[in-house]
Structure 1
């Protein structure tokens, strides 16, 4: 008797991130316009400010690592 191949499971980065326990915070000092710009960009991407900033960090770190 043959089995059907299992369907691949797709998990988004946001789902993985949400599943990991978070206990650390980062505080930033910035101008109100900068804060609003970050919030607007995060909203436009469908992410929370934390998710947006972490994704920006990953993208910049990857780019810098590649030189």
Structure 2
């Protein structure tokens, strides 16, 4: 389980929480946006949030918000 304590770049807001699984199965809840995200993949080390695929994932997720 992880909790976001600061916003470093595009992605979950401060106060978001979730699980970045080692094999890529991850979920996050962003209360500020009233949003839950689920990412499912079976690949070792895929949960490393520094991988380029995560930047693409968070870009797509947060661009889809329609206020």
Same fold (TM over 0.5): no
Structure showing the higher strand proportion among its residues: 2
Structure showing the higher helix proportion among its residues: 1
**What TM-score do the two structures reach when normalised by structure 1?**
0.29
**What TM-score do the two structures reach when normalised by structure 2?**
0.29
RCO (CA 8 Å, sep 6+): is it higher in 1 or 2?
Answer: 2
